[in-house]
């Protein structure tokens, strides 16, 4: 190996390790990898940021914006509402939600489809006295499988289509993925809906309407008595004495209840405080101030809610600005307008001091504040609410305009009249001009960590090719396969891609594996499209872990899953995908 190859391989291995560890966010890892190959001279500085102008990156951003417009139109909410009567029987319940998720994901961002349907899934599960864990993983898997249906269903498909354009001059079309993707999605959804969900451990049985958090587990009642040292002091003094570890959720004075009281509110004798804090810190505060603990009798969730102020459960999404931060960062970002009262991770309440807990993607938060403030701030916090604010019926004119623009973009790109990137950017402009997307929200729906990941990894993938590393990988796999049939190499490429996708971002997997797969096909003198399509399918099939796909991460907390639960349904599903996918690939895209 020469120096360039050593640098590129070392960078790639380090990036894979960092992706898998998850200590640094994936976009930061991608940028670091890009800097290494640029500063060492493998990639020219003038080419370092060409990835931001790459058609795949622009297309992904446009698809995210259009998906946002489709969500806001209310169409999917309406369709989800029609599913409520189907939730009485478990298998029909799982089938209906998983199937709808797959259909929606074929034409919009799969994370967006999951975000829309999660509140519906949780609400219908509770209504029917079922664990959310029975519904949410099938819902996640359905949204991932639906992404296989079309070019725009998932970023790996867009990446593979763009790479095919580089090697052959023509990208894959909008529905080139459909014949193979439809069969795999159909097989996968059928397995998940009929049999797969039965493999999952249902750790929680949830009674009708029962919330995830029990109020008595995180709220303590304290009364201000005559000899207390904080009478006539502002409420903020309590927070100061507890070093910011105490959160006052409510103040009751006589018959009057004040939720989320101001920090300037003066305390009086007889006031009853409902507070959240670590037991040891509360004991210390009681000793300092002379506060009197009160029995939990009669304490319930409703006491912390009113018409305008209440409790909202939300999950931290991958790429959230809260990742790697503490609860104090959450309060600062919201101007101390939102309180974090409780936190659950992998289905288990976190008992340690919330102030010191470093937040992670998939964590389930119980937030208190004014409903309007919480729901307006959640997108900026990168959090997804787990309860719908009411069904939005689609306005006739809005849904017609949105769907007409979307279908028009699909038609002109499918007919080859304009490239799909141009068609979808034009659709975004039309939606903005017709006010289907508020200008102020135009870029809110773009998942910038994913965009930066793609833009940084595309030059890194190019570095693999120009340094000769893809040739090294291809030669190694060809030597490993020996004289075995070409089908075995296709199988091997798909297994390697699936394995990588289970531990690193699927878009990064597609960027790395596409040139390797194409190089092997060229060496064998066979159709590279077969191998590229195999990579597209395998890169999207991350079913063994919660870290391989953002959808899996999102359902981990609300579903009460542990890391090792995913393979129970994911492993047989990946085996089925290989069994159904390889024959379909050989039929539709013959070698």
**Positive or negative: CA dihedral 210, 211, 212, 216:** negative
Q: What is the pLDDT of residues 257-314, one digit of tens each?
A: 788 787 788 888 888 888 877 777 777 777 777 788 776 665 666 777 777 777 888 8
Q: What is the pLDDT of residue 142?
A: 94
- What count of residues does the chain have? 591
Q: Is the pLDDT of residue 211 over 60?
A: no
Residue 16 pLDDT level (bands cut at 50, 70, 90): confident
Q: Is the pLDDT of residue 391 over 60?
A: no
Question: Where is average pLDDT lowest: 308-312, 453-457, 567-571, 580-584?
Answer: 308-312
Question: Where is average pLDDT lowest: 110-119, 219-228, 291-300?
Answer: 291-300
Q: What mean pLDDT is reported for the chain?
A: 83
3-class SS string, 143-188: HHHHCCCCHHHCHHHHHHHHHHHHHHCCCCCCCCCHHHHHHHHHHH
List, in order, residues 6 or more apart from 496 with CB less than 8 Å away. 513
H or E stretch at 92: helix 90-105
Q: Is the pLDDT of residue 202 over 70?
A: no
Helices (H), 415-447: 420-433
What CATH number has the domain spanning 213-385?
A: 3.30.70.1450
Q: Is the pLDDT of residue 148 over 90?
A: yes
3-state secondary structure of 255: coil
Residue 75 pLDDT level (bands cut at 50, 70, 90): low
CA dist 349 and 557 (Å) reads 10
Dihedral of the alpha carbons of 336, 337, 343, 345, in degrees to the nearest 10: -90
Residue 244 pLDDT level (bands cut at 50, 70, 90): low
For the segment 506-514, the average pLDDT, to the nearest whole number, is 88
Q: Is the pLDDT of residue 354 over 80?
A: no
Q: Is the pLDDT of residue 176 over 90?
A: yes
- Cα–Cα distance list, 127 to 93, 120, 124, 263, 390 (Å): 12, 10, 5, 38, 15
Lookup: tokens for 487: 């089908």
Q: Which residue's structure tokens are 């439809």? A: 182
CA dist 350 and 365 (Å) reads 10
Q: What is the pLDDT of residue 203?
A: 52
DSSP 548: S
Q: Is the pLDDT of residue 404 over 60?
A: yes
Q: Which residue's structure tokens are 């319940």? A: 93
Q: What is the pLDDT of residue 520?
A: 92
Looking at the chain, the whole-number percentage of residues with pLDDT higher than 90 is 19
Residue 208: count of CB within 10 angstroms of its CB: 10
Better pLDDT: 233 or 491: 491
CA dist 70 and 531 (Å) reads 33
For the segment 546-563, the average pLDDT, to the nearest whole number, is 83
Q: Is the pLDDT of residue 212 over 90?
A: no
Lookup: tokens for 314: 């939300």
Q: Which among 245-249, 346-350, 402-406, 528-532 has the top mean pLDDT?
A: 528-532
Q: CB burial class (10 A; 0-12, 13-18, 19+) of residue 80? A: buried
Q: What is the pLDDT of residue 246?
A: 75
Q: What is the pLDDT of residue 78?
A: 66
Q: Is the pLDDT of residue 170 over 70?
A: yes
What are the sequence ranges of the domains in the chain?
A: 3-206+442-588, 213-385
Supply the pTM of this predicted model.
0.80
For the segment 37-63, the average pLDDT, to the nearest whole number, is 88
Nearest-10 crossing angle of helices 75-82, 396-414? 100
Q: What is the pLDDT of residues 424-438, one digit of tens each?
A: 899 999 988 888 887
Q: What is the pLDDT of residue 330?
A: 78
H or E stretch at 247: strand 247-253
Nearest to 201 by CA among 557, 543, 561: 561
Q: What is the CA radius of gyration of the chain?
A: 26
Question: Where is average pLDDT lowest: 108-112, 175-179, 413-417?
Answer: 108-112
Q: What is the pLDDT of residue 102?
A: 92
DSSP class per residue in 311-377? EEEEEEPTT-TTTT--HHHHHHHTTT-SEEEEEEETTEE--S-GGGPPP-TT-EEEEEEEHHHHHHH
């Amino acid at each position: 190996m020469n120096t360039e190859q050593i640098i590129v391989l070392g960078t790639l291995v380090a990036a894979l390790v960092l992706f898998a560890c998850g200590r640094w966010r994936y976009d930061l890892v991608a940028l670091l990898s890009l800097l290494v190959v640029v500063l060492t001279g493998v990639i020219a500085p003038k080419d370092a940021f060409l990835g931001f102008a790459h058609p795949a990156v622009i297309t992904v951003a446009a698809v995210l914006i259009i998906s946002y417009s489709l969500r806001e139109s209310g169409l999917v909410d309406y369709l989800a509402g029609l599913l409520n009567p189907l939730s009485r029987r478990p298998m029909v319940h799982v089938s209906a939600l998983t199937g709808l998720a797959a259909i929606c994901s074929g034409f919009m961002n799969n994370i967006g489809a999951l975000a829309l349907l999660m509140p519906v899934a949780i609400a219908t599960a509770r209504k029917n006295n079922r664990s959310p864990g029975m519904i949410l993983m099938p819902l996640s898997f359905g949204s991932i499988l639906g992404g296989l249906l079309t070019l725009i269903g998932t970023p790996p498909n867009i990446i593979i289509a763009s790479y095919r354009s580089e090697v052959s001059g023509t990208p894959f079309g909008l529905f080139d993925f459909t014949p193979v993707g439809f069969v795999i999605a159909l097989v996968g959804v059928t397995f998940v809906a009929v049999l797969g969900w039965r493999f999952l451990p249902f750790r929680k049985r949830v009674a009708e309407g029962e919330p995830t958090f029990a109020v008595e587990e995180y709220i303590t009642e304290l009364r201000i008595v005559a000899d207390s040292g904080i009478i006539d002091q502002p409420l903020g003094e309590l927070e100061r004495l507890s070093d910011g570890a105490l959160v006052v959720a409510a103040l009751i004075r006589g018959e009057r209840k004040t939720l989320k009281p101001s920090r300037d509110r003066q305390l009086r004798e007889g006031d009853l405080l409902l507070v959240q804090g670590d037991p040891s810190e509360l004991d210390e505060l009681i000793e300092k101030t002379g506060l009197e603990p009160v029995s939990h009798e009669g304490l319930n969730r409703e006491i912390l809610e009113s018409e305008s102020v209440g409790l909202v459960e939300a999950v931290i999404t991958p790429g959230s600005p809260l990742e790697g931060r503490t609860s104090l960062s959450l309060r600062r970002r919201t101007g101390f307008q939102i309180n974090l009262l409780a936190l659950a991770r992998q289905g288990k309440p976190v008992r340690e001091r919330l102030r010191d807990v470093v937040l992670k993607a998939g964590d389930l938060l119980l937030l208190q504040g004014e409903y309007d403030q919480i729901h307006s701030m959640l997108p900026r916090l990168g959090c997804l609410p787990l309860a719908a604010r009411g069904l939005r019926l689609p306005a006739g004119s809005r849904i017609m305009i949105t769907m007409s623009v979307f279908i028009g973009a699909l038609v002109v790109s499918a007919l080859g009249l304009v490239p799909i990137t141009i068609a979808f950017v034009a659709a975004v402009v039309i939606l903005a001009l017709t006010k289907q997307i508020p200008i102020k929200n135009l870029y809110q729906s773009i998942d910038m960590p994913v965009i930066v990941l793609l833009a940084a990894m595309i030059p890194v993938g190019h570095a693999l090719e120009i340094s000769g590393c893809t040739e090294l990988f291809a030669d190694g796999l060809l030597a490993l396969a020996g004289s075995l049939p070409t089908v075995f190499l296709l199988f091997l490429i798909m297994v390697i891609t699936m394995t990588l996708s289970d531990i690193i971002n699927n878009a990064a997997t597609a960027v790395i594996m596409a040139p390797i797969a194409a190089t092997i096909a060229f060496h064998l003198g066979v159709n590279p499209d077969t191998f590229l399509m195999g990579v597209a399918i395998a890169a999207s099939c991350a079913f063994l872990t919660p870290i391989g796909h953002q959808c899996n991460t999102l359902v981990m907390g609300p579903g009460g899953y542990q890391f090792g639960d995913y393979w129970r349904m994911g492993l047989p599903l990946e085996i089925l995908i290989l069994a159904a996918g390889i024959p379909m690939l050989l039929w539709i895209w013959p070698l």
